[in-house]
Structures are given as C-alpha cells and as structure tokens.
A and B are shown apart, each in its own frame.
Chain A
Amino acid sequence: MNADRPRLISLRNPWFTASAGALSLLFVFSAWVGFVWLPSAQDDALFKGLLNAICSAAGAPRAWLGEASPPVPPKAPVSSVVLTPGMLEGASAGGSIGRGATLALRCTMCHGARGVSAANTPNLAGQYAPSIYKELRDFQSGARTSAIMVPMLAGLGDQDLRDLSAYYAALPRDSAPEMYPAPDIVATGSPMRNIAPCESCHGAMATKLGAPWLALQPREYLKSQLEAFAGGSRHNDISAQMRNIARNMTPDEINAAASYYTQNR
C-alpha cells in the first residue's frame, strides 16, 4: 500500500531496537536471577559454582543426599514383590489357567475344589491375581509366615505361582446375597484417627494394586490377620501400609469390619 513507509522490523527503526533491546536485557537479567543468583543463595554445596547453580535450577536430576549413614537392613524378611500394573500380563509374565488348575490340586483340601471352602481359609475364587501372587511369593521368601502355607509352596517356581494366581483369579466368585450396609469403618474409616476406609483400597470405592478383595472371606481369618497387622506379627505389607491402618483400629472396629466382609457366614 504505502511503499515508502519504513519497515517495522529493522535496526533502523528506533522503536524496534529500543523495545527489543530492553526486552532482551530484561530476559538476560531474569535468567541470571533465576538460574544463578537465587540458586547460589542456597546453603548447599551442590548449588555453588556457575554450572552447578544453572543445572540445579534447571532441574537436572542428581544425587542430593551427600554424606549419610548407610541404610539399616531389615531385621526380618520383608516383601520382595514388585507390584506394577502389568506384572501378570503378557506372554512371558502371564499365568496359564489350565496349568494352574493342575497345580491347584494340592490346594483343594483347604481352599476347596473351586476356591471356596468352609475351612476358615481364604476363599480364593475370583481373587485378584496380583494379590494371590504377592502372598504366595511372600510365603516363599519368608516375609509372611505360616506353618501350613510355607511347606505347601516348597519346590514351586515363579511360573507355578503365576499359573496358580491366574487359575484362582479366573474362577467365579462365590455369589453373595445382597451385601449388608457397610459399617462406618468400612465406608468412611476414621479420618481423625488416621484410618482410611477399608473400601478405599479393598474395593467398592477404589482398589489398590496388591490389596485383596475381601468380601465373603471367613470371619476368623479376617480378624486374625487384622490383629496380626496391628501387633506387627504380620509385616509383609509393603512399607507398612496395612499395619499403619490396623494399629489404629479398636477391637470393635476390627470386629465390625470382619463381620461386614464375612456377611455373618
């Protein structure tokens, strides 16, 4: 349109040079503040020096521990199972249901022909496979103790445990009549006393990887396990996540939770 109008972006345009110049100065100053000045003000050897300050402020991952006493090893074996969402999936990691069914013949005298029994042992039909697998591995490693389960698992390899888990997870759950309304400890927990609701990990509200499905388990079993967690004699829950809860529960709450999941069977 106007051929002799001066070009906007040009070093001969004083407006352009002034504003772009001021902006770059401000940018350089701000970068120096954020990457050099403020980090250097920290009382930490890893922030000292130009390169260190810049890398730290930019978030380059590095070891920040420095001198420290070595880790204290556990007194008793703890769970060594790595729980990840795909841990039992895929050709190499998955279990064979048919092979698991054959292996499960040794389990039937306590856990029932189809994973349900009246022997006060856990009902395994329809249990989550990662939960079964984790407990089996913990029995094997000594993280969880049982005079019955530990000898039963002797000689079984990792693939055997995966197959067993796949088999029991594939069995149909024992059909429940209608569940009673959940007691407070199950539905809301007791937040003022550090107790999350059972349902926030064990199903109904949300599930957490490794946490078992509890419905229709024998009352005596649930009660004894909650008490074992509370007293610390069972300690295969990773980083004490279940001990932290059970320790704060009253005997009444333990009874209420066990009765609810049992549905008075």
Chain B
Amino acid sequence: MAQTFSADSHDTAALSQRIEKRWALLMVSIIGLLVAVMIFTGLHWAMMPPSRVETIDPSTLHLSGEFVESNLGSAVEADGSVTVRVIGQQYSFTPQCLVVPAKTPIRFRVTSADVIHGMLITGTNINSMVEPGYISTFKTEFKQAGDHLMPCHEYCGAGHEAMWANVKVVDKDAFSKMAVNTRRLTCDL
C-alpha cells in the first residue's frame, strides 16, 4: 500500500516516537487518575473500611473471651464510647436487636461462628464482611435517632434470606437511662 506521508526513514522514526510518547502520557495519566480517585475516596468518603486484621478461633467463641453470649450487645466504656459486639451465624445475628446511642463514638466488633456472612446497616455507610476466624472492627457515629435494618448481605446458606437484625438508634439520654440497669444492652424481645 502506498503511504500518504513521506516514507523517509527519519520521518517514520519521528512519527512513531511522537505516537509512543502520547500513548505513554495517556496511560500514565489514566493510572494517575485511578490513584487519585483511590486517595480521594479513601480520605473523604471512607469507601473502604481500614484494614484492622484480628484473628479468633470461631469454634470456641462461646467458651471464653469477649464473644461469650452474656457479653454480646452494647457496652458503655469508661471514656463514654460504646462497644457493640455481634455474632453472625447460620441464620441469625445475636443479638437480634441492637440498641445504640446517637451522637456517640461507636465501635463495632463482629465475627462469625460458622461461614462468611456480611452486615450492612441501611441508611448508613456501615458495610462489612463477617468472616469466621476474623474479627471485623470498625468505628462509626450515628448522627440521629432512628430505626435501621441490618441484613446479612453475603449468601450464607439455605436460610440466608431470614438472617437480619434490627438496629435502634436512640437519644443519648434514653440510652444512658437504659444502661443503668444492665451492663450489656440489647433490644431483643
């Protein structure tokens, strides 16, 4: 085929150099943009929960440690923050109804006793995997009182669709009144 531009070997080399440079610039810009998106969402949207890896034996949760049944639910800490401990198992969360105060630093500690589950709290950006052998820790704060649902969002077996919990966010005062009577709070029936 006849070429439309001069077939002089020097011109061809210059042309291919220009094209190479443009493509290299384009590729580096795309990678740069992706890194920038990662930085922005990481800093401003908290898109990904930070990695807080912690391991635990899923078969002995009920024997000792912080995930024994009597220690599940919301605990008021000395600094006024609240720690909420939850177990996911086929096919329910324990406790089935979480109660937490609004406008208070909250720390969730969640783990699974059997297979991989997931939890998300509707209307918030709380969304985490719940894996056997690992404790999912994340911090949050609810801006206002209200009721939320907390479905398991990772297919966990034949009864997966029935696995969800309620989350009641109550006023700080109402919560501290509830906390007078008991050391671990839930709104289970």
Contact = CB atoms under 8 A, between A and B. Distances in A.
Interface stretch (A33-41, A125-133, A173-181): A33-41
A254 to B, nearest CB: 15
A190 B55 CA distance: 34
B162 A189 contact: yes
B83 A244 contact: no
Interface bracket on B:
35 or more
A68 B83 contact: yes
A1 interface: no
B11 interface: no
A6 interface: no
Task: Specify which of A41, A72, A75, A201 lies most central, judged by the most chain B CB atoms within 10 Å of its CB.
Answer: A72
B158 A238 contact: no
A205 B161 CA distance: 14
A206 B6 CA distance: 74
A155 interface: no
Task: Specify which of B65, B78, B137, B184 lies most central, judged by the most chain A CB atoms within 10 Å of its CB.
Answer: B137
A200 B60 contact: no
- The secondary-structure label for the interface of chain A is loop
Interface string A70-83: 01111100111011
A73 B38 CA distance: 44
Interface residues of A, number: 61
Interface string B73-102: 001111100010001011110101000000
B109 interface: yes
Nearest to A194: B162
Interface stretch (A56-64, A93-101, A113-121, A219-227): A56-64
B113 A82 contact: no
B1 interface: no
B70 to A, nearest CB: 4
A178 B131 CA distance: 40
B157 to A, nearest CB: 6
B22 interface: no
A68 B38 CA distance: 33
A84 interface: yes
Contact of B78 (A42, A64, A67): A67
A206 B71 CA distance: 30
A45 B89 CA distance: 31
Contacts of A62: 53-54
Interface string A20-64: 001000100110011001110111101100000000111111111
Interface in B21-61: 24, 28, 31-32, 35, 38-39, 42-43, 50-55, 59-61
Given A57-B51, A65-B109, A201-B91, A71 B162 contact: no
Given A44-B50, A68-B75, A80-B62, 11 more contacts: A56-B53, A62-B53, A67-B77, A190-B162, A194-B92, A194-B96, A205-B158, A208-B114, A239-B94, A240-B94, A245-B91
- Please name the 4 residue pairs, one residue from A and one from B, whose CB atoms are nearest each other, closest first: A196-B159, A200-B159, A196-B91, A200-B158
